[in-house]
Structures are given as C-alpha cells and as structure tokens.
Amino acid sequence: MMESGLLTHFKDLEDPRVDRTKRYPLIEIIFLIISATISGCEGWKSIRDFGLLKLDWLRQFLPYENGIPVDDTLARVMRKLNTKQFASCFTQWIQSVMKATDGDIIAIDGKTLRRSYDSGSGKSAIHMVSAWSSLNGVVLGQEKTAEKSNEITAIPELLNSLAIKGCIVSIDAMGCQKNIAEQIIKQKGDYLLALKGNQGHLHEEVKSFFLAAKEADFKNIQYNFHENVDTGHGRIDVRRAYAIDFKEYKDHIPSGVKWKNLTSIVMIESSRDGRNFKTQDMRFYITSCETSAQKLLNAARKHWGVENSLHWTLDVTFREDESRIRKEAAPENYAIFRHIALNIIRKNTSINASVKRKRHMAALDDNVRTTLIRELI
C-alpha cells in the first residue's frame, strides 16, 4: 500500500468529521478525488462514478475496505475541510518535489472562480491568488481572498509559504506595495513589480521620466536596451525593453527612494501588427534586479505567460469557470485539487501529449493513470 510521497503530506490533515461518521478514511477520499480529477472528472457525482468503476485500481494504492463514499459524503467533507491546512499540505508537497531554482520567475497572479458565488447565502465569488513557477511549469501555492481588492493582504501570506531564495517574484500592479517588496527581499528573492495608477506619484514619476527620455532619444541617459521580435499566425509581435539604473537618476524619481533595494526602473513597449489590426502597449516596472533589459523583458514575458499556462488551462481544460461547486469551503478546496492534478500532469515527461490529452488518456487507460500518479508519489 502507498504510504510515501504525495500522500505523506496529506495523511496528518485534520478530518472535519466526528468519529462515528468516519466510515471512509480521509486519505482515501483525497486520493480518490486527485485520481478522478486527473482523469477528467468534474463534480462529486462524476468522482463517485470513477471510484465505483476503478475501485480495483484504487485498491492497488490504498485499502478502500468500505468501498467508495456517496457523492453527498464527498461534498460534505470538502465543505468542512480546513482550507488553510489543506493549502499548506499542498505547498509542502510541491516544494518537496520541486526545489526552487536560482533564476526562476515566480509569477503571482489572481483569478476569480466565477461560479463559486452562492446566491442563497449571499457569498460572493472566491478569488484565488496563486504562485506559478515559470521554470517548472507548476503551481507552488495559493491563497484565498474574499475579492480581488484583498490580494494585497493575501500575497504576503502566500509569500510566507514559499521558498523564493534566488528567484524573481513578479506581481502585477495590485501587489506593488512597499511591504511586499520588503518581504521578498527579506526572503532573499528579487522583485519585479508592475506600476499603474494605484501607485500615484511613483507611477507618474517613472512614466514621465521615460517619456521625456524617449522624446529626447535618450540623449545623455545611460540605459540598457533589448528588442524581441516574434512572427507567426499572420502577425508580428515586437517588444522593446529599456532598463535604467535607478541610483543614477533617483533625483528624477524621488518616490523611489522609499522602496527597499530598488535597483532599476523599466519601460516595455509592445506592438502587434496583424493583417487587419495593430495594437500598442506601454508598461512600467520597478525591480531589485540588475539593469539588464533582456533579463527583465524575459521575466515580464514569463509573468504574462501565466494567463496561458495556468488560468487558460484551468478554464478550458479543467472547466474551472463552469464549476458549480460553491458551498462553504468546497470551491477553494476543489481549486487546490485542480492545482494538484495540473502539477502531476505537467511534471510528467514520459507521455508526449497536451494536458487535455493526458487527462483523456488517463480516463481510458489505467496504466497511463498509474504512470502519472507514480511519478510524484
């Protein structure tokens, strides 16, 4: 029977049920949901069906002496399971198998579970803030907030659970806060923070400095430049990054002196030319990283990639935005199960297929599912 690896990190998870209702061990329920989610199941009835049909396979790993719980039992347990403790177990597991790598870009970004609102109880839709390892292609951790505006309080808690030494932590403008920058430096990481209007003076100072410098063709301005051009699908994407040593021009950006280890300010211009359209964009950043335009453009692009690598996959492949699981703690707990399943699938390199196709193959073939599970247990 399996008692190591992935399940080791969940075996001490506090069971929310009273003793007389613990007919089905919590660890068996967790393994059932993970296996079913990998295999494309969505919802408690679908997970129960998977368990009934694949009971012999499940018993290769755990006893399941009392068989498979009904869907109401699965729902009830997930509604009551301590989300904070479950998320902590998840983070401990993934960090045990995915050690932080120097130079990794850890993108922190939020996503709303659109159908997690509960009109009956007046509960608003849940917003999850996740940390994504660009190098390893896995979710490192997550933190729930009541709404998007609360990302500012969720991000420090998420950072506390992560090993970020030697990594660059990229966060959009919502997380551009002095205390967050200080925390990243304290944990021996570097930050790349997007600037927008919520930073008031600092955003305006950086923007005005770059626009004036560009207008003067950067005359008498020391800067580092890198350009990246991508072609394909009938369009041309051009990105130009300008990085400037903050210390050399701090008199022009007085608000910057309040930021811990602020080393460089960055402007990235993006343009896309298609057959019938043209778009342009300009973004500004502050960072504790060295003044390397190439390195900082790469880090910014990795952050933008979290939309496709994580959010799009959860929405399209795992149909997260269509999920009707909404009672009590169940939505955030099931979001963690999706992250576990995504991590297991992405870290498999022996099967050359997309995430969607691997899930389909796991549903059809016990050997494929075993291969996926065994690689991280």
Convert the pLDDT of each residue in 125-173 to its tens digit.
677 788 989 888 888 988 877 655 567 888 999 999 899 999 999 998 8
* Least confident segment among 146-150, 172-176, 196-200, 205-209: 146-150
Residue-wise pLDDT tens digits, 43-99: 899 999 999 999 999 999 999 999 999 999 999 999 999 988 998 888 888 888 776
Lowest mean pLDDT among 218-232, 291-305, 322-336: 322-336
Q: Supply the pTM of this predicted model.
A: 0.85
pLDDT at 4: 44
CB 183 within 8 A of CB 193: no
pLDDT at 307 over 80: no
What pLDDT, on a 0 to 100 scale, did the predictor assign at position 3?
43
- Whole-number average pLDDT of the chain: 87
Taking phi over 0 as left and psi of -120 to 50 as alpha, with beta for the rest, 127 belongs to beta
- Distances from the Cα of 171 to the Cα of 17, 161, 180, 186, 285, angstroms: 38, 16, 10, 17, 10
Percent of the chain with pLDDT over 90: 53
Does 338 have pLDDT greater than 80?
yes
Task: Give the range among 14-18, 322-326, 330-334 with minimum mean pLDDT.
Answer: 322-326
For residues 234 and 168, the model is more confident at: 168
The dihedral sign for the CA sequence 357, 362, 368, 369? positive
Contacts for 279-284: CB closer than 8 Å, 24+ residues apart? 283/194, 283/195, 284/194, 284/195, 284/203, 284/206, 284/207, 284/210
Greatest alpha-carbon pair distance for the chain in Å reads 77
Domain ranges of the chain: 5-82+329-374, 95-311
- pLDDT recorded at residue 175: 86
Cα 260 from Cα 191, distance rounded (Å)? 10
Tell me the pairing of strands 168-171 and 190-195: parallel
